[in-house]
Structure 1
Amino acid sequence: MGRSPAGAGGPDEAETRRAVVILTVSDQARRDIDAQIDWLAKRSPASAERALDAILSTFDLLQDFPLLGNETERGWREKKVEFGRDGYVICYVVRPADLFVVRFFHPRQDRGETGVES
C-alpha cells in the first residue's frame, strides 16, 4: 500500500510533525565533555571525532525519547553513550521546558571527583 501525499487523504501536517524536546547542557556538563574529548584527541583525533559524533547522536535520541535513560535514586536519569569498550554516561533531568544535561563522565572515572554518585 503506497503513501498518499498530504492533502490527498493522507495524514495532515499536525499528525506527522514530531515534537522536539529542547536539550540544555549545563556549563559543568560542557566542561566534562570537553575534558573527555580533549583527553581522547591527544591520543587519537579520529577517535575523538567519532566519540563526539556518538555523544551528539545520543543527544538527538534523547530529544526524541527523553525517558530512555535509567532513572536513578538522585532523581535524574542516566543514558549510556555507546562508544568503544566503556562508552560514556549522560546524567540528565527531564523538566517541563527541556531536557537538562547535568553531568557527563566516563564509566571508569571516579564518580567522587564528578559529584555524581552511582
Structure 2
Amino acid sequence: MDAARLAEERAQAAMDELNAAVRKAAEDADDERRLAETAAFEKAEAERIAEREELRRLHVMTQAAERLRELESRAAEADAAAEEEAGRLAAAEARAERAEEALRVANEKVEEAARAAANGAIVA
C-alpha cells in the first residue's frame, strides 16, 4: 500500500506540476497577447501620427506654392509697371531732348536777331 500511496503522491505531484505549467503557459500567452495588442495599438497610433504629419506637410507645401504663385504674380505686375514707367520715362526724355533742341534753335534765332539788330543799328 505504501507503494500505491507513493505512486498516488507522485501522480498528484505530476498533476500539480502539469497544472502549474498550464497556468504558466496561459499567463505567458496572455502576456504575449497583451504585448501584441499594445504593439498593434502603438503601430496604429504611429501610423495616424505619420499620416497627420504628412497631411500637415502637404498643407504647408500647398500654402507655400500658393504664396509663391502670388509673389510671382506680383513680380510680373511690378515688371509690367516698371516697363510701362520705363516707356513713360523714355518718352519724357525724348520730349526733353526735343525741348532742348527747340530751345537751342530759339536761342540761335535770338542771337541772329540780336546780331541783325546790332548790324541794323550800326548801319542806321
Q: What interval of TM-score do these two structures reach, taking the shorter chain for normalisation?
A: under 0.3
Which is greater in Rg? 2
The structure where helix makes up a greater share of residues is 2
Say which structure is richer in strand: 1
In the superposition, the TM-score normalised over structure 1's length comes to: 0.20
